[in-house]
Amino acid sequence: MSLLRLHRALPSASSLLRRTFLTTSCLHSEAEPIVLPRLKEDLKTAMRSKDKPRLAVLRSMLAEITNASKTPRPITTDAHLMSLLLKQIAASQKAVAEFESVKRDDLVEKEKGQIAVLGEYVDGIPRVGKQEIEEMVGRVVEEVRVKGGKLQLGPVMGKMMGEIQGRPVDTEEAKKIVEKAIEEK
């Protein structure tokens, strides 16, 4: 085989291997993303409809995802995407407050539009429900009691979050449920 053929064959083989590894590792350890794969299609739709605010937000999100793929913690699940979206929403809310203080209504409207678009994606990500959290906490608490361990917030939360693995959850709500379960036992 010539060096040129070998050189051309290597990138495709490595990308195939990378895709296979990512697919199989995600199938076994984390929930399948629902919103994440939709972003590129939404970008195309925004381009076709010439929706400039949505287009800017989607490009920004995809750039963040691409940048994160070059770090040890790439965005591969909707839970990771949700944390990115919430960070961007918080940054936009901070910007709105700053722009309001200097009376830049044009920039306030732009940031509010970004928050609205980001909010649509946050709302589209299915979260672990309260009932499922309660059932999970009940199981974890029983496991800890059967093993003779001490019921404490940290170990119970850690075990429960390990079971959730890759699925978005409201951690504050989960913490309250765990605290309530520990008080009752």
**pLDDT above 90 (res 111):** yes
What pLDDT score was predicted for residue 182? 82
Do residue 96 and residue 40 come from a single domain?
yes
Six token digits for residue 33 = 């993303």
Task: Express each pLDDT in 32-51 by its tens digit.
Answer: 777 888 999 999 999 999 99
What pLDDT score was predicted for residue 46? 94
Is 22 within the bounds of a domain? no
Under DSSP, the state recorded for 32 is P
Which residues form the domain of 148?
Answer: 130-184
**Residues 81, 38 contacting (CB under 8 angstroms):** no
Identify which of 71, 70, 45 has the alpha carbon closest to the alpha carbon of residue 57: 45
Instruction: Give the domain CATH number at 81.
Output: 1.10.1510.10
Model-level pTM greater than 0.85?
no
Angle separating helix axes 52-68 and 105-124, nearest 10 degrees: 60
Identify which of 33, 31, 30, 54 has the alpha carbon closest to the alpha carbon of residue 42: 54
**Residues 148, 126 contacting (CB under 8 angstroms):** no
Q: How confident is the model at residue 61 (pLDDT cuts 50, 70, 90)?
A: very high
Which of 81, 98, 124 is the last residue before a domain boundary? 124
Is 156 within the bounds of a domain? yes
